[in-house]
Each structure stands twice: as C-alpha cells, then as structure tokens.
Copies of this chain bind each other. A is one copy, B any other.
C-alpha cells in the first residue's frame, strides 16, 4: 500500500505529535525510537519540513517538533506529500485509463475501501490521532 518512505513518515510524525510537549526530538532519537535508518529518516523529515508538515530548529538543542499548525494537518497530507495522490486514486490493476465510466473489473470494490481509509485519514487531525495513540498505548 504505502512505500517504506511513507511508513517512516507516518510513524515519525505520530511520534513527534505524541512527544510534542517534551524537548525537540532529533534524528538520532527518532531513528532509535522508531528503529529506522537514521539518514533515510533525516531525508524524509527534510521533505516534510520543506512542505511545512513538521517544524524544525537548527543548532544545539534543535530538532524536530509538531507546531500548532502541524498538529492540525492530517495523515492524508503526509501521505500525499510523500507518496502522491495515486495511492488513493491510481488503478489497482495498473491501467492508465480507468475511471467511473470506463472502470477496471476491481474499480468499484477497490475504491470503496480505499476511499474509506482516505476518509478516516482525512477527518482526524494528527493531534487527535496522537491523543488516541497515547490513551490506548498504540505501537509506532
């Protein structure tokens, strides 16, 4: 479904959201906490930062964190930023022409479920999700 890049992005963002009241988290901390390749993670965070989806501060005691605005974004925003819209809209069978009028055999079913997931990802903010994650002690 999602690329590895995107999976790391989701996990990093949720981690930051959960620990947003603590000190800023550096790449080292994130990589260790998420058990992810440090430099790969750094690149992903740079991309998210460039698009205003996470906040960063340079210098000693710097690091990444989720600001007010960042917490109001959604995981859909993260996913669209990293993997692009095709994860949600591209044809599951890989057909270049596939639409409601001219559907592939899996169009209806596949879209029903993808759109269900997309809706969920879109109508809950990252901040709200972080609360759930903390309350229920979910994995990251």
Chain A residues close to B by CB (< 8 Å):
1-2, 4, 7-8, 10-11, 14, 75, 87, 92-95, 97-98, 102-106, 109-110, 112-114, 116-117, 120-121, 129, 132-133, 138-140
Q: Majority SS of interface residues in chain A?
A: helix
- Picked from B4, B75, B113, B120, the residue with its CB within 8 Å of the CB of A114 is B113
Minimum distance in angstroms from A106 CB to a CB of chain B:
8
CB atoms of B120 and A109 under 8 A apart? yes
| A92-B7, A94-B8, A139-B95 given; A110·B1 CB < 8 A | yes
- A7 (CB) vs chain B CBs: closest residue: B94
- Picked from B104, B106, B116, the residue with its CB within 8 Å of the CB of A113 is B116
